[in-house]
Structure 1
Amino acid sequence: FCTMFSLKECDAIGFDMDHTLCRYVLSTQIELGHQALAQYLVKEKKYPKRLADPVLDDPNLVYCGGLLFDGQHKALVKMDENGKVEKAAFGTEMISDSEISKLYSSDMYCSHYSKVLSGTLSEKGVYHLHDNNFDMTLTVLLSRMMEIAEKQNNETKLNVFADFYEGISHAWDAASFSGGNSMFFEELKSNPGKYLHKCPDVVKTWLKALKAEGKVLFLLTSSHCDFAKHVMDYCFEDDWRSYFDVVISKAKKPRFFNEQFPFKVVDPDHVCELATEALELELNGWYSEGSSHVLHEHLKKWSGKESAKVVYFGDSVKSDIVPAKQKCDWEAVYIMDALRAEKGALNPLSGHEKSLLFSEGFGPLLKSTNGTGTCNSFFCKLIEKYATIAMPSVEYMASLPIDFQYSRLGNGNGYYPGKPNNILKQNYRLQES
C-alpha cells in the first residue's frame, strides 16, 4: 500500500458538480434552499411564518458538519471516534450532558455508530448523516420544525417527517426546473451570479492538461440534465462538455454506486432524457442514471488499462466519498469547505460562511472535546477511513503540478493545505484564520 497519492498515476478522473467542480456562494445558496422549503411548508402545511425566518438571523444556529440526526431521539448528535455522544441538540437548543446521559444511558454510546462507520450513512426515518452543504439547509429547517411541533397541542401535532420529505420533493423535483414551480430553481435561473462562482481559468487549464496527459475525464452528478446544463453553462460557459469524455447526470448517488440501473441517453440539443436505454456508452456522450459497475468497465476500455486506477472528487461523504471507495475501490478526494479556514487555502471563508460551517456549541469539527481532548471526532474517523485526501477546493488542487505527491489521510496527514489547525480548535468562530 502506497502512503502517497498522485493524479499522475490515475487513469480516469471524475468530478461531482455541485459544491465540487462548481462552487456556490454558501450564504445565499443555503438561504435560498431554506426559503424554498420553508415558504412551501408555511403556505401548504400551515406552519407558523417564523419557520421562514432567515437562517443567518438565528442567534441559536447550532449547525456544523459531521452531525448525525438520530430520529429516535429527534436529536442532532456529535460522536467521538468510539461512538460516544459528546454533544447533542434538540431543535436549536443544545442538550445538557445530564440529558444526553438519560437519552443514551450511562455510557452515552450511539447505537447507530457501527452501521454508519461501516458505510450505511442514512436510514430513512431512523438516522441521517448531515455532512454537506445541501444538508445544512435541511438541518436548520428540520430543527425548527421539531421545535414548533413540540409546542403544539397533542390534538394538532404536526407530521414533521412526512411534511419535511414532501417539501423536499416539491423544491427539488425532477420536473421543477422546466416546470417553473420551484422557487429554488426559478431564482437560480434568474440570478445565477448571486448563487454561483465562475470557474477560474486555473481549473479549466488544469482539466485540459489532464486530458492532454491521456486521462479519461468524466462528470458525474445527481443533478438532472437541465439543471446541470444551467449550472455548467454559467460556471464554465457553453463549451463545458469539451472538458469531459463523458457526462452522467441524474445519477441519484449513492444509488449509482449501490444498485444496478440502466443508462438513459440524454438529448443534448433539447436537454432532455430519452426513453432509449444505452447498451454501450460512447465517448463524448451524455447519459443519465446508470451504475458505477458499468461505468467502470467503460473507463477500463477507454483508458486501455485492465486495472484502471480511478479517482473521484466529491463534497459529500455520504453520496460521493464512502460509496466510491467502498463499492468501486476508487480513490476519493474529499472537497471540504471547512479547510478554507486554513492558512494558504484559496478563497478564504467569509464571516457568514464561518457562522454556517462551525458551531461553538458542538466544538471542533475533527476533534472530540471530551476528557483530554486527544480523541478524534467520529466525523474525522469517517473521513480518514474512506477518503484518500481532503482538499479545500478543486481550484487549490488545480494550482499544484499534476505529478504532485500527496500524503494520504491518517494520523492528521492528508489534509490540505496542511494540518487543519483551525478546525481542530475549540470555539473556532472566535478565532481569525
Structure 2
Amino acid sequence: MPPTKTDFSPEKELLQDVDSDRFDSPDRDLSQAGYDSDDIMSDRSEDCGMRGQIYTNKFLNLKKIKCFGFDMDYTLCEYISPEYDQLGFDLTKSSLVKRMGYNTRVMDLQYNPRFPVRGMWFDKEFGNLLKVDQFGKILDCIHGFRKVRGEELRSLYPHKIQRKDDNRVFVMNTLFNLAETHILASIIHLFDMCDAFKQTENGWIDTENNNREISYRQLFEDVRNTIDYIHVESMELKRVTVKDLARYVKKDDRLPALLTQLKKGGRKTLLLTNSDWWYTNIIMSYLLSDYSNKGEWLEYFDLTVVDGRKPKFFTKECELKEVDLETSEVGPIRPDDLNTKKRVFSGGDHGTITKMLGVDEPEILYCGDHLYGDVIKCRKECEWRTLLVVPELDHEVNVSMESETLIQELHKLENILSKDAQQFVQLRETLMSCVSKLDKGYGQSGSLFRAGSRLTYFGSQMLIWADVYTGSVINLCNYSIDHVFRPPLMLLPHETPAQGSLQSQISIDAQ
C-alpha cells in the first residue's frame, strides 16, 4: 500500500532521496547531473586511468576483423544527457495529457536525471520497477519513488523472485527507456500521493477526470503507446532534435578520424541502423560532414543500411530494398552493381548483408548500444562479433573509484558472513547501510551493473553475450587496428586461493 497521502509536490518528492553529500551546494542544478553531463564529470579527475578503455569478456583479435559495423543511435550518434532524456520525458507527459486525456496534474511532473537507471523491469501487474539478477531474484523494488522492502515485498513476490514473463514484465533495455522509466514512476507516485486519485486493487480512479479508471497495466500501455507515437508515428522527438542538433547530439571530431583510420587499414565499414533515411541522413551529415553537404558522409561507409528492424534483422529473412536518394522513397533494388558507392539500402537480414560485404560472419565486429537487439540476438543467431557501447560506463567507473572504501568494507562484511552466517543478525544493519550508501553513489536507483555486490540482469547478460564493451565507440581510436583483446582469467570457485590465504590477504578485523 502507498504511504499516507499528503500535499503533493512532485519536485520535492522526487528529490527527497538524493544523497546530499554528493550535491553539497544548495544552489546546484540537479538537472545537469546526468550520466554524460560535463558538469558532473568536471568535479572528477580527468585522468582517472580507466577512461577510454575497452573491456574484454571474450578473446577478440582485431587483426581477423575485416569489417567494422556500427549502429547509429547512441553508438555513432551520442545523445547528450540529461538534455535528450529531459526532451523525451517532456514530450511524453505532454502527449499523455493532450492526446491520451490524462489528468493535467501530469504536466507538473519534473525530470530528475539521478532517478532512472537502465535495465530495470516494469511489472505491469503491481506497477513496480524491479532490479533483478539473471535468475529473477529481486535485488531492488520501487513503487513510484518508494522502496518496497521486507514483508510487503515478500507478499507481492514469494521468495523475492519474478521470472521474465513477457506478458507481465517489460525490460527497460535501452537509453531511450530512461524517460519511460521516469515517467512511469512519476505518474505512479503522483497518483498514489494525491487525494484526487482513489486507490483500487490494481490502480486508481481519477475523481477529477470523469472517474476514469486506470490500472497499472493500462498506464504502461498508454505510456508505451505514447513513446511509440513521439518516436515513430509523429516523429516529434526526431523533429525537435534536428532543429537543435548542437543541444541534443554530441559532435566529436575523432569520429571521422576513426572511420578514416579503419578504411586506411584495409577494413570495410558498415552502417546498420533501425532509423529511417531522412533522420539518418541529417544526423550523419551533422556528425561527419559540413551540414550543407548532405550525402558526403556516405563515403565513410562501404555499405549503408537503414530501417534495419533489429532484432528481426538477425532472426528472420527480410526483403532488401533500396532508398532513392533523390526522392527518399524506398523501392526495389536497382539492377546495378551492389558495391557502387553512395547507395543506401533498406531492411534486409544479416545473411544478405554479410554476403554483400564479401566477408565471413566471424570477420564482422558489430558495435551497438542495445544489449538485446544489437548484441544478444546477434550472438545467438549469427557469428558476428560484438562491441557493446554503454554510455553510462564512465560515470559507473568514476563512482566505483570514489566508493573504493565502501566496496572494500562491503567485501569484508560479506567475507565474514561467508565464514560465520550466525553473525548476520548482528551485522545486518551495517551491511544494509553499506549497500545503501554504495548504491546511492550511482544514483537514486543504484548502479546499472550491480545492487551492492550482486550482479544485475543487465550486468550478467552483458558479461555472457558481449565480446567487448566500452563507454563510447570513439574509444576504438585508443587501440591499434590489429589489437588483441584478452579477457582476464576467470577462476572457478574451486580454483580460487584457500580461504585462509584470502583471509590473510584482506586482513579482516572482525571486531
TM-score range, shorter chain: 0.7 to 0.9
- In the alignment, residue 186 of structure 1 is paired with which amino acid? R
Residue 50 of structure 1 deviates from its aligned partner by 3.9
Please say if residues 64 and 359 of structure 1, whose CA atoms lie closer than 8 Å, have aligned partners that are also in contact: no
Local SS of the residue matching 1:261: coil
- In the alignment, residue 394 of structure 1 is paired with which amino acid? V
- In the alignment, residue 125 of structure 2 is paired with which amino acid? Q
Q: Which residue of 1 aligns with 2:323?
A: 266
- In the alignment, residue 315 of structure 1 is paired with which amino acid? D
Local SS of the residue matching 1:325: helix
Distance (Å, rounded) in 2 between the aligned partners of 1:55 and 1:215: 46
Local SS of the residue matching 1:17: coil
The reply to whether residue 366 of structure 1 matches residue 425 of structure 2 is no
Segments of 5+ residues of structure 2 without an aligned counterpart are 1-56, 198-203, 400-439, 492-511
The match for 1:392 among 444, 459, 471 is 471
Q: Which residue of 2 aligns with 1:198?
A: 251
* Greater Cα radius of gyration, structure 1 or 2: 2
> Taking structure 2 as the reference length, what is the TM-score of the superposition?
0.66
Residue 293 of structure 1 deviates from its aligned partner by 2.2
Please say if residues 55 and 140 of structure 1, whose CA atoms lie closer than 8 Å, have aligned partners that are also in contact: no
Residue 251 of structure 1 deviates from its aligned partner by 1.2
> Taking structure 1 as the reference length, what is the TM-score of the superposition?
0.78
The match for 2:219 among 145, 156, 160 is 160
Please say if residues 277 and 307 of structure 2, whose CA atoms lie closer than 8 Å, have aligned partners that are also in contact: yes
The 5 A counterparts of 1:18-417 are 18-53=73-108, 55-57=110-112, 62-105=115-158, 107-112=159-164, 123=166, 125-147=167-189, 151=197, 152-153=204-205, 155-158=211-214, 159-173=218-232, 176-177=234-235, 182=236, 184-200=237-253, 202-237=254-289, 238=294, 239-270=296-327, 272-277=328-333, 282-283=338-339, 284=341, 285-299=343-357, 301=358, 303=359, 306=360, 308-341=362-395, 360-369=443-452, 373=453, 375-408=454-487
Please say if residues 263 and 278 of structure 1, whose CA atoms lie closer than 8 Å, have aligned partners that are also in contact: no
Residue 286 of structure 1 deviates from its aligned partner by 0.7
- In the alignment, residue 351 of structure 2 is paired with which amino acid? H
Local SS of the residue matching 1:293: helix
Distance (Å, rounded) in 1 between the aligned partners of 2:308 and 2:128: 30
Local SS of the residue matching 2:281: helix
Residues 166, 82 of structure 1: alpha-carbon distance in 2 compared, 3 angstrom cutoff: closer
Please say if residues 267 and 274 of structure 1, whose CA atoms lie closer than 8 Å, have aligned partners that are also in contact: yes
Local SS of the residue matching 1:165: helix
Residues 29, 308 of structure 1: alpha-carbon distance in 2 compared, 3 angstrom cutoff: same
Residue 274 of structure 1 deviates from its aligned partner by 2.0
| Per-residue deviation, residues 141-175 of structure 1 (Å, max 9, x unmatched) | 2223444566342751133234223312321225x
- In the alignment, residue 169 of structure 1 is paired with which amino acid? D
Distance (Å, rounded) in 2 between the aligned partners of 1:160 and 1:3: 41
- In the alignment, residue 178 of structure 2 is paired with which amino acid? M
Residues 189, 358 of structure 1: alpha-carbon distance in 2 compared, 3 angstrom cutoff: farther
- In the alignment, residue 304 of structure 2 is paired with which amino acid? V
Please say if residues 12 and 311 of structure 1, whose CA atoms lie closer than 8 Å, have aligned partners that are also in contact: yes
- In the alignment, residue 124 of structure 2 is paired with which amino acid? G
Residues 74, 377 of structure 1: alpha-carbon distance in 2 compared, 3 angstrom cutoff: same
Residues 34, 262 of structure 1: alpha-carbon distance in 2 compared, 3 angstrom cutoff: same
Distance (Å, rounded) in 1 between the aligned partners of 2:231 and 2:369: 19
Please say if residues 16 and 220 of structure 1, whose CA atoms lie closer than 8 Å, have aligned partners that are also in contact: yes
- In the alignment, residue 77 of structure 1 is paired with which amino acid? L
Distance (Å, rounded) in 1 between the aligned partners of 2:96 and 2:85: 17
Residue 266 of structure 1 deviates from its aligned partner by 0.6
Residues 362, 34 of structure 1: alpha-carbon distance in 2 compared, 3 angstrom cutoff: closer
Please say if residues 265 and 286 of structure 1, whose CA atoms lie closer than 8 Å, have aligned partners that are also in contact: yes
Distance (Å, rounded) in 2 between the aligned partners of 1:409 and 1:331: 18
Segments of 5+ residues of structure 1 without an aligned counterpart are 116-122, 346-356, 413-433
Q: Which residue of 2 aligns with 1:426?
A: none
Residues 260, 400 of structure 1: alpha-carbon distance in 2 compared, 3 angstrom cutoff: same
Local SS of the residue matching 1:161: helix
Residues 317, 55 of structure 1: alpha-carbon distance in 2 compared, 3 angstrom cutoff: farther
- In the alignment, residue 354 of structure 2 is paired with which amino acid? H
Please say if residues 58 and 486 of structure 2, whose CA atoms lie closer than 8 Å, have aligned partners that are also in contact: yes
Residue 344 of structure 1 deviates from its aligned partner by 9.2
| Per-residue deviation, residues 103-140 of structure 1 (Å, max 9, x unmatched) | 210x212221xx7xxxxxxx3x5322213210111111
More divergent stretch after superposition (384-393 vs 396-405): 396-405
- In the alignment, residue 319 of structure 1 is paired with which amino acid? G
Please say if residues 258 and 476 of structure 2, whose CA atoms lie closer than 8 Å, have aligned partners that are also in contact: no
Q: Which residue of 2 aligns with 1:120?
A: none
Local SS of the residue matching 2:332: strand
| Identity across the alignment (%) | 22
Residues 321, 54 of structure 1: alpha-carbon distance in 2 compared, 3 angstrom cutoff: farther
Residue 277 of structure 1 deviates from its aligned partner by 4.9
- In the alignment, residue 104 of structure 1 is paired with which amino acid? Y
- In the alignment, residue 321 of structure 1 is paired with which amino acid? V
- In the alignment, residue 291 of structure 1 is paired with which amino acid? D
Please say if residues 149 and 160 of structure 1, whose CA atoms lie closer than 8 Å, have aligned partners that are also in contact: no
Residue 282 of structure 1 deviates from its aligned partner by 1.6
